[in-house]
Amino acid sequence: MSIRDKLSALLGFDIDFDAPVPPRKTETAAEQTPDEWRFSRRIMRAGGRRLGAIYKILGVICSVVLMSTLLLTVAGMPRYGVDQEYMDTVTYEYISHGMEYTGAVNIVSGIILEYRAFDTLGESFVLFCAVSCVLALLRADGADSEPERVEYRDISCDPILRRTMRAVVPIVLLYGAYVLLFGHLSPGGGFSGGAVIGAALIMIASAYGEDVSGRILTERVFKTVTTCALSFYCLGKSYTFYTGANGLHSVIGNGTPGNILSAGLIMPLNVAVGMVVACTIYGMYRMIGQRRF
Amino acid sequence: MSEWVRFYICAAFAAFGVAAFIFAAVGVCRLDYVLLSLHASAIADTIGISSLAVAAAVYFGLDLVSLKLLCCAGLTLFTSPVSTHLLAELEFLTGKTFGAHTRRIGK
């Protein structure tokens, strides 16, 4: 009796170690009719001769312009350690007046969601774009035919994993909510809290299998949540920037620094960013790991 | 007096954690098969991180920071063996050379 038979008897089910691996389906060449193929090749050959010289000259010019601009900028910067007061102006402003202007005890939150709010908005859009690109690629893959079912080992029937996740997931979700909601008071914020919540969703999905993980976040929910969060971010930040730049009275006050309901829009914006991040992480896991949304 | 007691408890936990890490490093270097080196690296994941976190918590005293550290230690203590178990299970289910290293014990 070999050790494999013993292990099979121990486990109670048979393991086929020497099962043949199914051959991978090879990609066929791009399906183009011969007419199209000849036409595009002719265009490429004709354009290649003419555009080749222009392309090289333009490339050299662009590179020289870019290089000289960057080098001149570096040369014009103050030397490190000499004009320290000149360089530290913005930092000093943030540290000394940050809490007074933004109402956030956590200076980092105040900076990334008030002073540099458009930067954070761009980062959220980057995440949204990444998920959209993966979604588009997966769609392009299986547009005509049913996407081929990928066989993978399902670990979701493991009782140890299930029991542990049942104990751990609520705590992790609670902690993620805490990091999101207290982002303006303590270290944390939208990105880290969203990552924690996304990890908790991945835990649920990996512990309870495909039938549950498909119900957590459908594509429709993902689109709705992400679009609403990003739109809310855009509108809210536009409003505060508009009123702030023109010296108008804003409905959204700063409140008392240290309270939960303070610091203007920072807490709602943290929640918005966190929802985008959580949806992105879970969507990526679902799309890349399980090949469908 | 209590300062010294705290210091000794903290030092004991830290030394225990560092020793676990050293054992784990030696084990990962010396054992070549997946399951064997997994058995070594799980020591670092489980005992090393937990006891270092407990040592830091003792060092800071009763505080919000030390509460967070204790939470981290507890979470690691529960989740790290599960992840090791899942890795070992995947190796058990899919590994091509599974029987090769264990046959000697089986006979």
What ipTM was predicted for this assembly? 0.72
Joined together, the tokens standing for residue A123 give 């980062």
Lowest mean pLDDT among A72-76, A138-142, B5-9, B73-77: A138-142
CB-count exposure of residue A280 (10 Å: 0-12, 13-18, 19+): buried
Euclidean distance between CA atoms B4 and B10, whole angstroms: 10
Tell me the shortest Cα–Cα distance from B106 to chain A, in angstroms: 6
Which residues of chain A make contact with B106, given a CB cutoff of 8 A?
2-3, 6
Name the pLDDT band for A72 (thresholds 50, 70, 90): very high
pLDDT at A66: 95
Assess whether pLDDT exceeds 50 at residue B106.
no
Please state, rounded to an integer, the average pLDDT across all residues of chain B. 84
Tokens of A5: 């038979």
> Would you list the domain boundaries of chain B?
2-106
Q: Nearest Cβ partner of B89 from A4, A17, A158?
A: A158
The answer for B 50-69 residues in CB contact with A (under 8 A) is: none
Q: Do B106 and A6 touch (CB under 8 A)?
A: yes
A29 touches chain B (CB under 8 A): no
Question: What's the pTM value of the predicted model, to 2 decimals?
Answer: 0.66
pLDDT number for residue A152: 55
Any alpha helices (H) in chain A, and if so which ranges? 3-11, 34-76, 84-87, 89-102, 107-110, 117-141, 159-181, 190-216, 219-246, 266-284, 290
Instruction: Reply yes or no on whether the pLDDT at A245 is more than 80.
Output: no
* Residue A24 binned pLDDT confidence (cut-offs 50, 70, 90): low
Per-residue pLDDT at B36 exceeds 80: yes
Question: How far is it, in rounded angstroms, from Cα A8 to Cα A11?
Answer: 5
Q: Is A140 exposed, middle or buried (0-12, 13-18, 19+ CB in 10 A)?
A: exposed
